[in-house]
């Protein structure tokens, strides 16, 4: 039973992590970008500044960089400093939830459920601090949709959030509704809603990535690979899926599609260039299965 629960929770993590890679609510924090998604360079640049001389914005960026690089304890310490200082609580608590979510992969099986629930709690606190924080609200909804019931999954609770999401952003409403429809075994309805969620705004990358993941789960690997390839044409900001994550998903889709040469090339690129150790390990695992 423990092994089954562990597999279910890891599956949930893999689904949810894509749903939470999105921008924070309107603030200066959501506007900074990282050239070439090089979070190592960002961390190095800020680390040379004495902690006492850093601005809160710089501390937030350093926390993001450490989260992206897999330095979760450091990321959590920096984020807790921001929360203690009441700095942009909606954004800081949202980031805290992302860090806890990433920790689910690293803690032992007995701590996975508790760690996942810490992520949920942080996002709920972010909503309390900023009721207009659309991404914290969406993250909570995605948690309820995708978490196993033993870890707090609750489809009715997810549906109850839809009016709040609609009031803030119709595109994220369609995205959330699409995820719910998919969970209810309504693939045609889910695809329709996810396509309706597409926008020409700054979150188009997020919507395309989610549509690509939907096609991948539906075993429509041609369309999945097409959507992931299309993402190469968009500029990426700190809150978007990093290039290595996009290449990983495209490589996996091509592998399922049967284009083994192209798949291997992409996965080898991820293994060599990914800055996050978790992505490197994921690519290595996929390559080992050839």
Tens digits of residue pLDDT in 110-143: 898 999 999 999 999 999 999 999 889 999 999 9
Check pLDDT > 90 for residue 214.
yes
pLDDT above 70 coverage of the chain, percent: 89
Average pLDDT over residues 80-106: 94
Pull the structure tokens for residue 193: 């809603």
Burial class (CB in 10 A: 0-12, 13-18, 19+), 78: buried
Whose CA is closest to 231, among 256, 253, 207, 255? 207
Among 35-44, 121-130, 229-238, 280-289, the range scoring the smallest mean pLDDT is 229-238
- Give the pTM: 0.89
What pLDDT does 27 receive? Answer: 43
Whose CA is closest to 22, among 275, 197, 274, 216? 197
What pLDDT does 236 receive? Answer: 79
Average pLDDT over residues 86-103: 94
CA 273 and chain centroid, separation:
19
Check pLDDT > 60 for residue 252.
yes
Check pLDDT > 60 for residue 10.
no
What pLDDT does 24 receive? Answer: 36
Whose CA is closest to 48, among 62, 37, 64, 67? 62
**pLDDT (tens digit, 9 = 90+) per residue, 157-176?**
999 999 999 999 999 999 99
């Amino acid at each position: 039973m423990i092994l089954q629960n562990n597999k279910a929770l890891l599956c949930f993590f893999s689904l949810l992590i894509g749903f939470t890679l999105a921008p924070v609510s309107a603030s200066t924090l959501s506007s900074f970008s990282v050239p070439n998604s090089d979070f190592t360079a960002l961390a190095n640049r800020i680390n040379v500044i004495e902690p006492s001389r850093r601005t809160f914005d710089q501390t937030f960026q350093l926390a993001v960089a450490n989260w992206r690089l897999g330095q979760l304890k450091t990321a959590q310490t920096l984020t807790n400093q921001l929360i203690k200082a009441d700095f942009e609580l909606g954004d800081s608590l949202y980031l805290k939830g992302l860090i806890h979510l990433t920790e689910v992969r690293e803690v032992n099986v007995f701590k996975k459920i508790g760690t996942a629930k810490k992520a949920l709690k942080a996002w709920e606190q972010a909503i309390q601090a900023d009721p207009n924080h659309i991404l914290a609200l969406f993250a909570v909804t995605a948690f309820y949709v995708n978490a196993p019931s033993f870890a707090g999954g609750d489809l009715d609770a997810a549906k109850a959030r839809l009016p709040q999401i609609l009031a803030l952003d119709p595109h994220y409403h369609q995205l959330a509704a699409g995820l719910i429809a998919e969970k209810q075994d309504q693939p045609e309805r889910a695809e329709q809603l996810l396509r309706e969620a597409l926008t020409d705004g700054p979150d188009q990358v997020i919507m395309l990535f989610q549509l690509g993941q939907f096609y991948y789960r539906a075993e429509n690997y041609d369309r999945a690979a097409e959507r992931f390839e299309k993402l190469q044409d968009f500029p990426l900001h700190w809150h978007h899926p990093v290039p290595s994550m996009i290449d990983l998903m495209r490589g996996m889709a091509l592998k399922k599609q049967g284009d083994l040469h192209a798949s291997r090339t992409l996965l080898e690129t991820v293994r060599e260039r990914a800055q996050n150790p978790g992505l490197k390990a994921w690519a290595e695992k996929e390559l080992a299965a050839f």
